Amino acid sequence: MNDIDIEGLKGIANQLRIHSINATTAAGSGHPTSCCSAADVVAALFFGHMRYDPKNPHFYNNDRFILSKGHAAPLLYAAWAETGLFPTEDLLKLRQLGSDLEGHPTPRLPFVDVATGSLGQGLGVGVGMALCARLDKLDYRTYVLLGDGECAEGAVWEAASLAGIYQLNNLVAIVDVNRLGQSQPTAFEHNLNVYKKRFEGFGWRTEEIDGHDIDELMEVLAAVGLGSQPLVILARTLKGAGISFIQDKEGWHGRPLSKEEAVRAIAELQPSARPGTGRSIPTPSQLPAPNNAAPAGYPPLAYKLGDAVATREAFGNALLRVGGADLRVVAMDGDTKNSTYSEKFFKKFPDRFTECFIAEQNMVGVATGFGARGKVPFASTFACFFGRAFDQIRVAGISMANIKLVGSHVGVSIGEDGPSQMGLEDLALMRPIAGSVVLYPSDAVCTEKLVEQMAMHKGICYLRTSRPKTPVIYNPDEQFPIGGAKVVRESPGDKLTVVAAGVTLFEALKAADELKNAGIGITVIDAYSIKPLAKDVIKTAAQKTNQTVVTVEDHYAEGGLGDAVAGELSADGIKVHKLAVRELPHSGKAEELLAKYGIDAAAIVAKVKSLT
Amino acid sequence: MNDIDIEGLKGIANQLRIHSINATTAAGSGHPTSCCSAADVVAALFFGHMRYDPKNPHFYNNDRFILSKGHAAPLLYAAWAETGLFPTEDLLKLRQLGSDLEGHPTPRLPFVDVATGSLGQGLGVGVGMALCARLDKLDYRTYVLLGDGECAEGAVWEAASLAGIYQLNNLVAIVDVNRLGQSQPTAFEHNLNVYKKRFEGFGWRTEEIDGHDIDELMEVLAAVGLGSQPLVILARTLKGAGISFIQDKEGWHGRPLSKEEAVRAIAELQPSARPGTGRSIPTPSQLPAPNNAAPAGYPPLAYKLGDAVATREAFGNALLRVGGADLRVVAMDGDTKNSTYSEKFFKKFPDRFTECFIAEQNMVGVATGFGARGKVPFASTFACFFGRAFDQIRVAGISMANIKLVGSHVGVSIGEDGPSQMGLEDLALMRPIAGSVVLYPSDAVCTEKLVEQMAMHKGICYLRTSRPKTPVIYNPDEQFPIGGAKVVRESPGDKLTVVAAGVTLFEALKAADELKNAGIGITVIDAYSIKPLAKDVIKTAAQKTNQTVVTVEDHYAEGGLGDAVAGELSADGIKVHKLAVRELPHSGKAEELLAKYGIDAAAIVAKVKSLT
């Protein structure tokens, strides 16, 4: 690093600019000016500073790079093309259906760990990666490139705060302060001091530089890792830098150059442009690889039928049991660990637990970061507070992230705390996440078995747990495959099928008893897997019971179990009647609320009687 | 204010503590220690500083108070009871189904403007109120009481940033720094300097005090409004303050005292307790009331059939037209105003527009604040980014807030930007919001008429707009009631009914043309109102067409139009077949993506043929 070819790096920056312009002009859309402002930073990082194997972007000790300002995707693609990973000609396929060089980066590309494009999310993921490096005793660093506009997102400050608290000196943020947002200048334009004071207040070391000065860039990068604080480099830049007739001008966000403008721009840039190919890139150290192998299995359970255990507590037991056998398992919580019972894991395995404090967006980002590094992260909080992180979860879906979310305190059955603490929309939120698995156990055995499978399943899984204690109804050797359902009550001549999950399963069983006494048989199904739904199990039962199903759920009527069943089965002519919470609930005792909102045994009995 | 009865205020604080202890012990749940830490602050604010009419909590120029740390609800209830608004005996009904003194505050109570209890949300609402006071030329101030733990939420910093940018010196935050979170101490415990540096970095004036010292409290409160900055009072407090055997101890979050403990605690507090009733409270100034009357109507439209107008642009036109006639209308955007077209309103009515920058959680909080003060706020951004603010929207539902959300750039039809920018879950998110109205227009006329109704409808309304231009298909005199649907194509002998909305309506019409040529008639319905859904219109059509419906939507298959229709109609034996996006989409041209993901005319034709 003593003999840095500054002119070469400057040349590469211009080469990256040229690629970004050509690609977006060819595509007819995109953000070339947002690429140009960050081109020098990216050239310095990729061709003079970061330690990685350009032929193997997944190497476990490569420095990581997250383009939080995902709209500068063409710049990232250009950098990797210039390392030689793929032909630079491919850059002209930007944004085409046939190319994975999409409008914003996704992990369909081997050099992208996580999707970006929804602003303000990269730093939280970076925190997770930096924590993971520390856990794995690896010396890779994580670099996150942010725009200045996205620093308005609270998620950035949640991440900044946690990085400061945990003194992540292996984390480096670079803010491309190009002064111009999408629709107007940013609030602070080139006043770097505002950002400096903020990051300092959040526990960071700060460096203010001219983001187009490679000398300065290399100088501050040389001091990465010094001290105990995370480092933010505040880079004063010009949007469209290098294009004399565009740079620092408003009205150029998300707008490609015309062909003629591109020719003019490239004429300015070409003379000093230099290729990146062939440059030697600092190599990562050869430290021992982390052991991210799945275990052969998990220890057995020890519940007895009839034990009263809340599923939230069963989750805590499961996390401890599964996490004891599976070293990939890490956990995080948002200062609710004594309620979600993730505390059991925290007490036994503090090194693998991250207290994220009351900052759910960042907690999901941290989980996504761990997941991208081969771990199996379980993040838990009250179900309703995962709504805070919905956008992070959505983007985790685009990232095809391997994260496990566990939401407790669902529905009106939490009782007295009232509606602000009741998860009544979580199924509706989690079902549309791309590739998600949504699970909702009723008893402790089912909960434990589902947690095992969550650990083994690659992808986003959501587990919905309940506050009240419920009896164990399954034997410890029962299996609960993802996508399954259990027929828990069935007799010849049943009039209809009740599909329930969680606390309402027990209401359905009570209703079945009562109806049986009245001479009405019903089939009862435990739909513990909401997505994928055991369509065939329910359909088979419905076909034996007058094509009629009643769903009952401690969730609003929209987007939950009832809609899932109706959406899957109505095409087959199955009649689906929904019992669900249909108004804004009130504080009260759990049993009072189940009754008031029409999802208790009495409501099921009344509904069944009205249909038979 | 020169003759402050400090001992009296101290006594009231203890009286509030006693009420909080009694109420939570009676309820058997709740957060008495979180009440005790803030009791002196609340006593000082309510009985020595704030200007309000205690008999009329809704008076337009009363100072506003938001209990962002909503779990201290009993303290708030006690304060209002001590003003004489309701009998103090009612406090013992805390958390009962029959009392509106719920676990966390909701606007079912006349003195609560907005629900709290999901932490970190109060300050954003306060920013909206403070902006509204400025717009209305009123001198009321907005006081927001936060916990220290909730300052980990990014939403707090989004709000702090905007308050600093707009120099809201009529906004006062008080942070009750009691050092202890729910499951462990906060990250910064009593290190007030961390909070001080952060708020200063975000543009605030700060005061650090002993939060149990009424003298100090009154002194800093006397300087509220000085200077141009918002003020934060950092109050060092003890959780459980005043109860010698509990204060500053871990393990007391969300835990009521036993009856015996309550007796001991009250024995300590009672000797110095004083009633609040009868104290003179500073009166608010009698400035002219804001004009928040609804207009008699809105100017007419001027579109011609066949005009090509994107519904997002029609929204911009509508906001300008409706907002011109309706002075209650205010607007806000998250630096996307040139894409959502809210820019049209901004340019004409800059005083009624708030640029919220890229901070969607806070934008929704600001809207909720304006709505709580009688305005009709329209907040717009890309549909997918409203997911960022889901929890704020959920709580707005609990607040029964009057806010209008407009999400643009929905579905795969946005094309090249790729999945991170595609709103594919927004219907699933907005449908379960308590009391929400969810609208999805296909053409400009429908959009404009829906915006009129959004302005007139009290409650949360969501409008889903699209990026591509679509032809005007309705005459300007057509009516689009909320909860309606339009049968746009119908013939005797139709084989089935296609229900579409937005861009897919045009695909359905193309399909109808093609199928007609093949001798197959289909009914086509424009389901512009997703919630409430025009169940009867669809059912009537389905009953004429073999009980068969095909839904087609530019949205994921879960929780959107298809689930809504199936969830409403399957109980009647209507067969609902869903066409929707069923995998993570890719960048590409809009028409390519509609085809690839099976929601274009060809897919509809194929589906119809497979069913007939």
Angle at A24 between CA A21 and CA A27, to 5 degrees: 145
Task: Considering only the beta carbons, identify the residue of A150, A400, A418 that sits closest to B102.
Answer: A418
Structure tokens that stand for B73 in this block: 């609800």
| 3-state SS assignment for residue B399 | coil
Best to test chain A binding among B158, B388, B462, B549 (most A CBs inside 10 Å) = B388
Task: Considering only the beta carbons, identify the residue of A118, A200, A570 that sits closest to B570.
Answer: A570
Chain A touched by B212 (CB under 8 Å): no
Please state, in angstroms and rounded to a whole number, the distance separating the CA atoms of residues B471 and B305: 7
Helix or strand run (H / E) with residue B396: helix B390-398
Q: Which residues of A72-103 are buried (b: 16+ CB within 10 A; e: fewer)?
A: bbbbbbbbbbbbbbbebeebbbbbbbebbbbb
Chain B touched by A578 (CB under 8 Å): yes
The CA distance from A282 to the nearest CA of chain B, in Å, is 32
Sequence-ordered alpha helix ranges (H) in B28-106? 32-44, 73-83
A235 forms beta bridges with: A176, A209
- Which residues in chain B have Cβ-Cβ distances shorter than 8 Å to A181? 335, 357-358
Chain B touched by A350 (CB under 8 Å): no
Give me the phi and psi of B286, to 5 degrees please. Answer: -95, 70
Task: Considering only the beta carbons, identify the residue of B119, B197, B574 that sits closest to A570.
Answer: B574
Task: Considering only the beta carbons, identify the residue of B153, B183, B417 that sits closest to A343.
Answer: B183
CB atoms near residue B344 (< 10 Å): 21
CB atoms near residue A328 (< 10 Å): 21
Reported as a single tens digit per residue, the pLDDT across B316-373 is 999 999 999 999 999 999 999 999 999 999 999 999 999 999 999 999 999 999 999 9
Transcribe B295-331 into DSSP letters. Answer: PS--PPP---TT-EEEHHHHHHHHHHHHHHH-TTEEE
Annotated active-site positions of B, please? 360
A549 forms beta bridges with: A497, A576
Transcribe B405-431 into DSSP letters. Answer: EEEESBSGGG-TT-GGG-B-SHHHHHT
Structure tokens that stand for A261 in this block: 């403008």
Please state, in angstroms and rounded to a whole number, the distance separating the CA atoms of residues A276 and A12: 6
Closest-CA residue to A154 (of B87, B113, B162, B346): B162
- Which residues in chain B have Cβ-Cβ distances shorter than 8 Å to A102? 418-419, 586-587
Chains A, B: CB pairs < 8 Å? 349
Chain A touched by B385 (CB under 8 Å): yes
Q: Could you give the count of Cα atoms lying within 13 Å of A504 in the half-sphere of its Cβ? A: 35
Chain B window 255-284: which residues touch A at a Cβ cutoff of 8 Å?
none
Structure tokens that stand for B569 in this block: 């109609």
Q: What is the CA radius of gyration of chain B?
A: 27
Reported as a single tens digit per residue, the pLDDT across B409-453 is 999 999 999 999 999 999 999 999 999 999 999 999 999 999 999
Chain B window 136-155: which residues touch A at a Cβ cutoff of 8 Å?
149-150, 152-155
CA distances from A151 to A194, A368, A474 (A): 11, 20, 50
Chain A touched by B610 (CB under 8 Å): no
Chain A touched by B34 (CB under 8 Å): no
Closest-CA residue to B428 (of B482, B465, B464, B403): B464
Q: Which residue of A has its CA nearest to B70?
A: A420
Strand intervals (E) in B178-328: 205-210, 231-236, 308-310
Please state, in angstroms and rounded to a whole number, the distance separating the CA atoms of residues A396 and B419: 12
Q: Is the four-CA dihedral A359, A360, A366, A367 of positive or negative sign?
A: positive
The CA distance from B440 to the nearest CA of chain A, in Å, is 17
Sequence-distant (≥ 6) Cβ neighbours of residue A130 within 8 angstroms:
A141, A142, A163, A168, A170, A171, A230, A369
Whether cis (ω within 30° of 0) applies to the bond prior to A481 is no
| 3-state SS assignment for residue B381 | strand
Q: Which residue of A has its CA nearest to B184?
A: A335
Task: Considering only the beta carbons, identify the residue of A150, A202, A576 that sits closest to B571.
Answer: A576
B358 and A96: CB-CB below 8 Å? no
Chain A touched by B348 (CB under 8 Å): no
Please state, in angstroms and rounded to a whole number, the distance separating the CA atoms of residues A31 and A73: 8
pLDDT value at B79 more than 80: yes
pLDDT of A3: 64
Closest-CA residue to A400 (of A46, A146, A108): A108
pLDDT of B1: 42
Please state, in angstroms and rounded to a whole number, the distance separating the CA atoms of residues B143 and B135: 18
Residue with tokens 């949504």: A438
Chain B touched by A296 (CB under 8 Å): no
Q: Is the four-CA dihedral A152, A156, A162, A166 of positive or negative sign?
A: negative
Annotated active-site positions of A, please? 360
A142: Cα separation from own chain's centroid: 18
Chain A touched by B355 (CB under 8 Å): yes
A312: Cα separation from own chain's centroid: 22
Task: Considering only the beta carbons, identify the residue of B29, B149, B394 that sits closest to A384.
Answer: B394
Mean pLDDT of B101-127: 98
The CA distance from B15 to the nearest CA of chain A, in Å, is 23
- Which residues in chain A have Cβ-Cβ distances shorter than 8 Å to B571? 575-578
Transcribe A82-100 into DSSP letters. Answer: HHTSS-GGGGGGTT-TT-S
B158 and A181: CB-CB below 8 Å? no
Whether cis (ω within 30° of 0) applies to the bond prior to A532 is yes
A335 and B182: CB-CB below 8 Å? yes
Average pLDDT along chain A, 612 residues, taken 10 residues at a time:
80 98 98 98 98 97 98 98 97 97 98 98 98 98 98 98 98 98 97 98 98 97 96 98 97 97 98 93 96 96 96 98 98 97 98 98 98 98 98 98 98 97 98 98 98 98 97 97 98 98 98 98 98 98 98 98 98 97 97 98 98 95
A358 and B158: CB-CB below 8 Å? no
Please state, in angstroms and rounded to a whole number, the distance separating the CA atoms of residues A120 and A157: 9
- Which residues in chain B have Cβ-Cβ distances shorter than 8 Å to A556? 432, 434
The CA distance from B569 to the nearest CA of chain A, in Å, is 8
Q: Could you give the count of Cα atoms lying within 13 Å of B263 in the half-sphere of its Cβ? A: 2
Best to test chain A binding among B182, B438, B563 (most A CBs inside 10 Å) = B563
pLDDT of B3: 63
Sequence-distant (≥ 6) Cβ neighbours of residue B527 within 8 angstroms:
B440, B485, B499, B500, B501, B533, B534, B538, B561, B565
pLDDT of A1: 42
Relative orientation angle of helices B122-135 and B154-165, to the nearest 10 degrees: 20
Relative orientation angle of helices B503-517 and B601-611, to the nearest 10 degrees: 50
**Using the 8-state DSSP alphabet, how is residue B199 labeled?**
H
Q: Please, are residues B298 and B321 in contact by the beta-carbon 8 Å criterion? A: yes
Best to test chain A binding among B127, B425, B529 (most A CBs inside 10 Å) = B425
A157 and B157: CB-CB below 8 Å? yes
Residue with tokens 């109060």: B122
| 3-state SS assignment for residue B524 | strand
- Which residues in chain A have Cβ-Cβ distances shorter than 8 Å to B181? 335, 357-358
A210 forms beta bridges with: A236
**Using the 8-state DSSP alphabet, how is residue B342 labeled?**
T
Chain A touched by B511 (CB under 8 Å): no
A524 forms beta bridges with: A489, A498
pLDDT of B393: 98
Sequence-ordered alpha helix ranges (H) in A49-138? 73-83, 122-135
B358 and A557: CB-CB below 8 Å? no
Residues across chain B? 612
Q: Please, are residues B75 and B42 in contact by the beta-carbon 8 Å criterion? A: yes
Give me the phi and psi of B280, to 5 degrees please. Answer: -85, 130
Chain B window 478-507: which residues touch A at a Cβ cutoff of 8 Å?
none
Q: Which residue of A has its CA nearest to B584?
A: A434
pLDDT band at B4 (very low <50, low <70, confident <90, very high): confident
Relative orientation angle of helices A214-222 and A32-44, to the nearest 10 degrees: 50
A143 forms beta bridges with: A65, A172
Best to test chain B binding among A355, A549, A576, A587 (most B CBs inside 10 Å) = A587
Please state, in angstroms and rounded to a whole number, the distance separating the CA atoms of residues A525 and A507: 12
A556 and B198: CB-CB below 8 Å? no
Task: Considering only the beta carbons, identify the residue of B161, B420, B572 that sits closest to A104.
Answer: B420
* CB-count burial class (<10 Å; 0-12, 13-18, 19+) for A108: middle
Angle at A532 between CA A529 and CA A538, to 5 degrees: 70
- SS3 readout for A397-436: HHCCCCCEEEEECECHHHCCCCHHHCECCHHHHHCCCCCC
- Which residues in chain B have Cβ-Cβ distances shorter than 8 Å to A571? 575-578
Q: Please, are residues B398 and B158 in contact by the beta-carbon 8 Å criterion? A: no
Q: Is the four-CA dihedral A409, A415, A417, A422 of positive or negative sign?
A: positive
**Using the 8-state DSSP alphabet, how is residue A47 labeled?**
I
Q: Which residue of A has its CA nearest to B164?
A: A187
